[in-house]
Amino acid sequence: MSSRTRARGAKSAAGVHTIRIPRQRGRRSAQPFVVVIPEHPSLTREALGFVGRVLWRFRAALAPTGFALLAWPLAAILHAIAWWSALALAPVAAAPVLWFGFVQLHRPARTAAVVWRAGLALLATAAGAWLAFAAGFGPLAGPLPLLWLLAWLIAQTAWLVVRRSH
């Protein structure tokens, strides 16, 4: 740091923020700069900071919520730019059902594993179908918001149950 911008011998009280602007060359009549920095953050800033820290702390537990919240703008953008993308997403929505059949043929399981696999395939199919319908008709069309809410609640609950059991 240059000696021209560093304050020499200036001391300030704890909690007080000061910014010193160096003198400008060739401007003897220029007005000084005044920078005001509040000593205490506002209540809104404190609340947003608290919410941000909580979300960051539990970010792994809230992964389905993040994906669900990203699905809305993605569907809206796809609907606005290329409504025909729904025609490409529709076959992709059937992929989880095909995965379930393939896995069940090659690695047969019983009881709880089959239930979890079937539930996962059903939820992924519902999410893919929602994305296809939302890209084609818009995310707010008909019962799509309700379907999104139900899929999000089921996915978040299942995610928390699976994470707790391992």
Note the pLDDT tens digit of each residue in 41-55.
889 999 999 999 999
Res 40: pLDDT: 82
Q: Between vectors from CA 125 to CA 121 and to CA 128, what angle results, nearest 5°? A: 140
- In the chain, the largest separation of any two C-alpha atoms, in whole Å, equals 86
Question: pLDDT tens, 95-152?
Answer: 999 999 999 999 988 888 899 899 999 999 999 999 999 999 999 999 999 999 999 9
* Mean pLDDT in residue range 7-35: 63
Instruction: State how far Cα 114 lies from the chain centre.
Output: 31
What is the arithmetic mean of pLDDT over 61-83?
Answer: 93
The separation between the first and the last C-alpha atoms of the chain, rounded to the nearest angstrom, is 52
Instruction: Kindly indicate the confidence band of residue 162, based on its pLDDT and cuts at 50, 70 and 90.
Output: confident
Residues 6+ apart with CB under 8 A from 7: 18, 20
What 3-state class would DSSP assign to 157? helix
DSSP class of 32: P
Quick check: 2 pLDDT over 60?
no
- For residues 73 and 116, the answer to whether their CB atoms sit within 8 Å is no
Question: What does the pLDDT read at residue 32?
Answer: 65
Q: Is the pLDDT reported for residue 26 higher than 80?
A: no
Give the integer Cα–Cα distance in Å for 121 and 97: 6
Rg (CA), the chain: 28
pLDDT at 1 over 60: no
- The mean-pLDDT minimum among 2-16, 81-95, 113-127 falls in 2-16
Q: Give CA–CA dist 37/22, Å, rounded.
A: 18
* Alpha-carbon distances of 21 from 7, 25, 32, 38, rounded to whole Å: 10, 12, 8, 18
Q: Is the pLDDT higher at 90 or at 18?
A: 90
pLDDT of amino acid 42: 85
